[in-house]
Amino acid sequence: MITAEQNQALLAVGNAAAHHPGWADYTAYCLTRERGLRKDAFQHLTTFLAKAESWTFDQKVEFTSFLFPFFETVESADYGPFPSP
């Protein structure tokens, strides 16, 4: 079960990612996960990761540079927006 703080983190990161058109699937992951639709959210994440595999090094750095400040500034951001196996 995801907590209210984790939902807030998903919304914050998802809304920030929405400003970058190339990250639409990541945005969809965050916002769908926040709505409690875990299975659908992970389908968006799978699509996003597949696309990211073909990114240039600079595109990967851009996305990573976007994400890392949220670890420090958004409470509970380490769970929802940044899933790990």
State which residues form the domain around 20: 4-73
Residue 44: inside a domain: yes
Residue 29: inside a domain: yes
CA pseudo-torsion sign 76, 73, 12, 46: negative
Residue 78: inside a domain: no
Structure tokens given for 53: 């595999």
Residue 81: inside a domain: no
- Looking at every residue in the chain, the average pLDDT score rounds to 88
Whether residue 85 has pLDDT greater than 60: no
> Contact at 8 Å (CB) between 23 and 64?
no
Residue 50: inside a domain: yes
pLDDT tens by residue, 23-63: 999 999 999 999 999 999 999 999 999 999 999 999 999 99
What is the rounded distance in angstroms from the CA atom of residue 18 to the CA atom of residue 25? 9
Domain count for the chain: 1
Residue 82: inside a domain: no
